[in-house]
Amino acid sequence: MDFLVLFLWYLAFILVTVILICICSKTPRLKGLAQEGAQCWDCKRMLPYLANNHIFIVLHLVLQGTVYVEYTWEILGYCQDLEFSLSYLLLPYLLLIVNLVFFTLTCVTNPGTITKADELLFLQVYEFDNVMFPQNARCSTCDLRKPARSKHCSVCDRCVHRFDHHCVWVNNCIGAWNTRYFLTYLSTLTVSTATIAAVSAAFLVHLVMVSDLYQEMYLDDLGRLQEMDFVLIIQYLFLSFPRIVFLLGFVLVLSFLLGGYLCFVIYLAATNQTTNEWYRGDWTWCQHCPLVARSQSADPKVYRNIHSRGLWSNLGEIFLPALPYYQKKKK
């Protein structure tokens, strides 16, 4: 039971650390301290290494494979003995196949690399708001005019059209041409993880109900008979099925993390925003652009999302990326 307590403390520490990092990244003073700390590690030397290795892809596949090996080795057999529905038990494998297909597509698809040959084409896709995306901005690294909503990825060393973020788990940027694959990959990964968690939990609950474990009695340290409580049932299950309980804890935490991130990505897709645009905006949902220098005499420039065209049009732009043409406004 001590191991479970330590494991819960470990998970709590990880979650608190992630939350603090997110808060620090949005607080100017703390953000400055974080950047100074990052410079001590000389991150620039690490970028070429991160750009050309596949360690996170291998780690992703190893973790996913380990979960499915344990699911197949123990949970599937036990659930078949308990006469669980076969279609319910095989659902994680179907989701795995779909997930691996879109994982591969996300990895290998060109996210929308901007080159000299297609620079003018990309400049006509989105309007410039002249706040977050100035019209005459240039990329000093690629020596290109920066189209609206584009960004230079320091890891891949290229400018990407409708840049969202660089995902180390697929070793690729997420841009205009592979966002649909990334969203489907993330959705199937979340659902498959939640399905395995549901099957594992259903097996353990069914086992407790069939064995009437919750009605058992035990002797405490003072020699008195006590009814089995929730903590003791968890302890018993952990001692009897340690790998299954550990797997359940892992996929439960992973399901909540992936589910939260999936909701965030769906929100961005529904409002036609990218992670880059959301991050560069103010804490109040990107209402003001903090990158524009403001003075008391100058009127503050307000950032507004001019690319949102309604829910279905925004989703259509994600799953059926096209090259919309915006007519120039007459002065």
Could you list the active site residues?
A: 167
Distance CA 210, CA 203 (A): 10
What is the longest distance spanned by two Cα atoms in the chain? Answer: 90
For 130, phi and psi rounded to 5 degrees?
A: 60, 20
Distance CA 196, CA 214 (A): 24
Locate 58 and state its tokens.
């291998």
SS3 of residue 297 by DSSP: coil
Helices (H), the chain: 2-26, 28-40, 43-51, 55-70, 76-81, 86-108, 119-123, 179-211, 230-240, 242-270, 275-280, 311-319
Residues written for the chain: 331
Residue whose token pair is 């994680």: 92
The candidate with the shortest Cα–Cα distance to 320, out of 165, 112, 156, 177, is 177
Q: Angle at Cα 160 formed by Cα 46 and Cα 54, nearest 5°?
A: 40
Locate 325 and state its tokens.
């043409």
Distance CA 325, CA 117 (A): 19
Which residues have CB under 8 Å from 111's CB, separation 6+?
Answer: 160, 161, 163, 172, 173, 174, 175, 176, 177, 178
Distance CA 234, CA 240 (A): 10
Distance CA 124, CA 106 (A): 25
Count CB neighbours of 180 within 10 A. Answer: 20
Q: At residue 226, what is the residue type?
A: Q
